[in-house]
Amino acid sequence: MKKHVNIMSTSIDKNTIVLFNPMPVKHPVAIINKQTTSLQVPLVNVPLSLLALARMVRDDFNIKIINAVVDSDYKEQILDSCENALCLGVSSMTCYQIRDGIDVCAAVKEKYPALPVIWGGYHPSTEPIQTLKNSHIDIVVRGQGEITFKEVVHRLRDNKSLDGIPGVSYKNEGRLINNPDRKFENIDIFPSIPYDMVDVERHIKGYKFGKRCLDYYVSQGCASGCDFCSEPLFCGRHWSGLAPQKVLRNSNIWQRPTTSIHS
Ligand code: B12
């Protein structure tokens, strides 16, 4: 018999949020050896999507980030971490991440059927109903996730309905509900990317730009409306970039020379 999750009735320890970045490709060897993919990019990626969410809720919850591209025992880690957790959040593009994410969620739901499972990222944002039709997924956050995710986890913690939170699609007594879209925010209003929440050394990779490269991002969205791209659906043709001062401030995780070009 199909199990239905009653999002309102979870009454367990609500302090831990588990966030998962599934494998983007099928073959772990491409990741373990830090080899390049067809994109000529080594796949040892910082889970930027998850860090963007984590920075919004780290003061109020314990956050456990599990990244398949560096944590080879990720399935076991997730199953352990989800015990007594508030929810599991999964990020997915339209690629193998869907398959891997669903496999893991199936195992999680088998062990913890009442645990709310939230999906976000490009695939759930462009296909929210298709995503929600999967029996292992309860909630979809569409588009920019920072504020929506924060509101969702606070509602879950307080045992309140997700009714009215912009940017959310969810299941309610077997019905699929699509709340209205959320306004696209200027990314300057968010805290800096919390690199301290991952082991930075494990994410450093050699690339054509240098031996020690680390992922970073300075903008989100796109103002163009190209038919072939998911970006217009994701961000409603909005774009936002970080102020230059903020980029400089954020980059202080690297050792920058203190001398100026004039000295
Ligand atoms: C870096 C990047 C990659 C990296 C890693 C991506 C990752 N997330 O781990 C790598 C190189 C692996 C990659 C690979 C691919 N990528 Co790519 N990538 C990007 C890029 C340039 C930036 C993504 C990023 O990190 N942004 C910063 C973070 C903070 O933003 P975000 O991920 O969107 O997350 C926000 C929301 O989506 C949401 N969110 C995300 N996850 C979650 C989870 C939860 C629980 C919640 C609540 C919210 C949420 O909240 C976040 C904060 O606002 C984007 C283009 C772009 N400008 O965004 C393309 C993009 C995501 N990639 C894309 C594609 C198509 C691919 C490939 C499938 C290409 C291919 N055919 O091979 C491959 C997949 C793997 C492979 N075959 O190798 C498309 C996705 C389209 C789609 N419908 O999925 C994009 C949008 C480019 C494009 N416009 O076409 N990619």
- ∠ CA(11), CA(12), CA(13), 5° rounding? 135
Asked if 118 contacts 140 with a C-beta cutoff of 8 angstroms, the reply is: yes
Average pLDDT of the chain? Answer: 87
C-alpha 237 to ligand 1 mean position (Å) = 16
Q: What is d(CA 149, CA 127) in angstroms, rounded to the nearest whole number?
A: 18
Q: What is the mean pLDDT of residues 133-161?
A: 97
pLDDT exceeds cutoff 50 at 262: no
Q: Would you place residue 50 in the very low, low, confident or very high pLDDT band (cuts 50, 70, 90)?
A: very high
Ligand 1 atom having least distance to the Cα of 141: 47
User: Does residue 150 have a pLDDT over 50?
Assistant: yes
Q: Quick one: pLDDT band at residue 213, thresholds 50, 70, 90?
A: confident
Distance 90 CA to ligand 1 centre (A): 13
Q: Write the CATH number of the domain with boundaries 1-263.
A: 3.40.50.2300
**Domain residue ranges in the chain:** 1-263
Q: pLDDT-derived band of residue 229, with 50, 70 and 90 as boundaries?
A: very high
pLDDT range class, residue 32, cuts 50, 70, 90: low
Among 193, 188, 191, 161, residue whose Cα is nearest residue 177: 161
How many A from CA of 242 to the centre of ligand 1? 18
Contact 217 CB / ligand 1 (< 6 Å): yes
The residue that leads in pLDDT, 224 or 36, is 224
Give mean pLDDT, residues 39-63: 88
What's the 197 CA to ligand 1 centre distance in angstroms?
20
Q: Which atom of ligand 1 is nearest to the CA of 47?
A: 9
Span 72-90, pLDDT tens digits: 899 999 999 999 999 999 9
Q: Does residue 259 register a pLDDT over 60?
A: no
For the cut 60, the answer to whether the pLDDT of residue 204 exceeds it is yes
Pairing of strands 239-241, 117-120: unpaired
pLDDT of residue 97 exceeding 90, the answer is yes
